[in-house]
A and B are shown apart, each in its own frame.
Chain A
Amino acid sequence: MNVLFISIDSLRWDFLSAYRDRPFGYDYAVETPNLDHFADRGTVFDTHYAGSLFCMPARREWLTGTREFPWRGWGPIEPFDDTLPRIARSTGTVAGLVTDHYHYFQHGASGYYEDFSGFEFVRGHEHDAWRTAPREIDASFASQIQASDPDELSYMHRAQYARNVANFDPEVESDFFAPKVFSRTAEWIEDNQCWDDWFCFVDSFDVHEPFHCPEPYASMYTDADPHNPELPVWPRWGRLDAGQAAIDDQSLAFVKAQFAGKVTMVDEWFGRLCDRLDAIDAWSDTVVIVTADHGFSLGDHGWLGKADGPLYDTLAHTPLLIWHPAYSETVDRVDALTSAVDLHPTIASLLGGETDGPHGRSVIPLLEGDAVSIRDAALYGIWGSDINVTDGRYTYHRQCDETRPATVNSTYQLNPRAVFHPPDPPEDLTVSKLPYAESPVWCYEVPSISRQDDTMLFDTAVDPTQDHDVSSSASAERRRLRKLLASRLDDLSVPATEYPRINLDPPVASD
């Protein structure tokens, strides 16, 4: 069996008509005909959640089956992790990575691409340290991406993107990133038909910002001039009404239109990849998995971006669409709760490898009809911050106490916050053990930070936009979710410091 695993970064689930007619916060539908067709062909998972957020933590969940956030944040693959490409190699499956996700190649992450048999890296997205010339950048475009200092030479400056795309023609969409990633994927699959089995991980950085689109997408959802220097394509993160992200209604509408345009562009090139799969008759022996690492706040709850605010469903509820030639023609939808970490044992089993990754549970029994549920709860969060749990209907967001530190537990002395900077070794190290690995790890304390003002509970069945905190009125459900959270943290044997950090008592042993 071949496996094509596609991540579309920041793709919100509510943008796909498989889930909703139009996205939350939009008064128009966003065109995704190819993803819609794929959803019709395959199986739609209705209740899929991210686990560890945001970018690299999500990839460690997928590639290693590790629920990362209770122990550490953004960082490299650990020596004891068993990655999917390593499993593929062990079963005689060639493993390829096609990506423009430059975080794989920065400070703060390593080990993610090295296990693949081969990888394609499309250069230049966002802050990718690629082009160093021209020195002068287009002033109008610099304004749109909010690159305030073109001579900036420090880490991760926005002028980098202007240099990277200086030769892009806004009328030629094949110059842009998603077209390149999906085109190279098609080429990789055609070239690798020479192998008995293959595994291809396509990690598309689009629809991540900058929301810089070629035509026709740039004008598809707006009447504004897409090159107007006053209209941003790369908004700052934060509150809509104050500070660095403050934005007027016209600019916010433009940002939303460019995000929507990028979704449609990704859809178009995903469709072209599907056409190539048609041409080589690949559907009968290929499982295709489409998902996203997280969403993106586009004014939802007053926030822009993903670095702030509670982990509402616009950030944490993610799409999952699977084509499996044996089951998808009979199983249209799965409403059972699933989690990002479950994709590791799912793909491992498809590759013929071990299926008992440290924290994931394969979704294959849901497709086979052998199970109606694989989990009663899904934990999700950002290391060192609040901790969230859902049972598939209620979402419970337990606020952390910022006076109680989090701990980093890793074999690396990683930068737990400033992940893109050169390593800054901590001073007060101890050694700890993980419950899911034999190797000892470094342990050190780092301040916690909360993204919310209080603990919250939402009933997404009646309040899908999570506007009404019912933690006071639904006290029985609040107690049930609190107990569920404690129980599932206990199942993972998380560090003992995690309970006081969220003012939660650990479960008491029944015997």
Chain B
Amino acid sequence: MTVRHFPDVDDQSLYVEYCLANISPQQRVALEHTDIDIRGSTCLDRCGRCYRSTFLVVNGTPIDGADCEKFINTLKQGDPE
């Protein structure tokens, strides 16, 4: 699984962190029902970003806004490429 469409993410293996306060239950289900490495947390200590929009931390790099929506939709489709 690669993540070439997210230029800030340069690792070949995905590790995604999300904040429970920040994503919808549906998005959480979408994330948890993949085979990628997921960590849900009660707080990622990124409160400003959390207040602004949905965000994820992908391989250590936060993504939000359209990039984040695109990422989650890609996961929902089961085809990260």
Same complex: yes
A242 touching B47, Cβ below 8 Å = no
Q: Mark B14-26, 1 if CB is under 8 A from A, else 0.
A: 0101011110010
Complex Cα spacing A385 to B17, Å: 17
Q: Which residues of B contact A238 (CB under 8 A)?
A: 17, 39, 41, 44
A243 touching B59, Cβ below 8 Å = yes
Complex Cα spacing A308 to B40, Å: 9
Number of B residues, CB within 8 Å of A: 26
Question: Residue of A at shortest CB range from B50?
Answer: A418
Instruction: Identify which of B28, B37, B51, B62 contacts A421 (C-beta below 8 A).
Output: B51
Complex Cα spacing A244 to B44, Å: 9
B44 touching A417, Cβ below 8 Å = no
Q: Which residues of B contact A382 (CB under 8 A)?
A: 42
Q: Which residues of B contact A308 (CB under 8 A)?
A: 39, 41
Question: Residue of B at shortest CB range from A157?
Answer: B48
Decide: A155 near B48, CB < 8 A? Known: A238-B41, A307-B41. Answer: yes
The reply on A510 being an interface residue by CB < 8 A is no
B42 touching A307, Cβ below 8 Å = yes
Pick the most buried of A237, A244, A246, A305: most chain B CB atoms within 10 A of its CB: A244
A243 touching B17, Cβ below 8 Å = yes
Interface residues of A in 401-447 (CB under 8 A from B): 415, 417-418, 420-421, 447
Q: Describe B's contact surface by its main secondary structure.
A: mixed
Complex Cα spacing A384 to B21, Å: 12
A421 touching B50, Cβ below 8 Å = yes
Pick the most buried of B40, B43, B62: most chain A CB atoms within 10 A of its CB: B43
A152 touching B48, Cβ below 8 Å = yes
The reply on B76 being an interface residue by CB < 8 A is no
What's the minimum C-beta distance from B58 to chain A, rounded to whole angstroms?
A: 9
Q: Which residues of A contact B19 (CB under 8 A)?
A: 417
Interface residues of B in 49-63 (CB under 8 A from A): 49-52, 57, 59-60, 62
Complex Cα spacing A237 to B42, Å: 11
Complex Cα spacing A509 to B25, Å: 37
B60 touching A154, Cβ below 8 Å = no
Q: Which residues of A contact B43 (CB under 8 A)?
A: 237, 307, 417
Closest 8 CB pairs of A and B: A154-B48, A417-B21, A156-B47, A418-B21, A242-B15, A307-B43, A157-B48, A155-B47
Q: A237-B43, A418-B22 are in contact. List 17 more A-B contacts (CB 8 A).
A: A127-B47, A152-B48, A154-B48, A155-B48, A156-B45, A156-B47, A237-B44, A238-B41, A242-B59, A243-B57, A244-B17, A305-B45, A307-B42, A307-B45, A308-B41, A447-B20, A449-B41
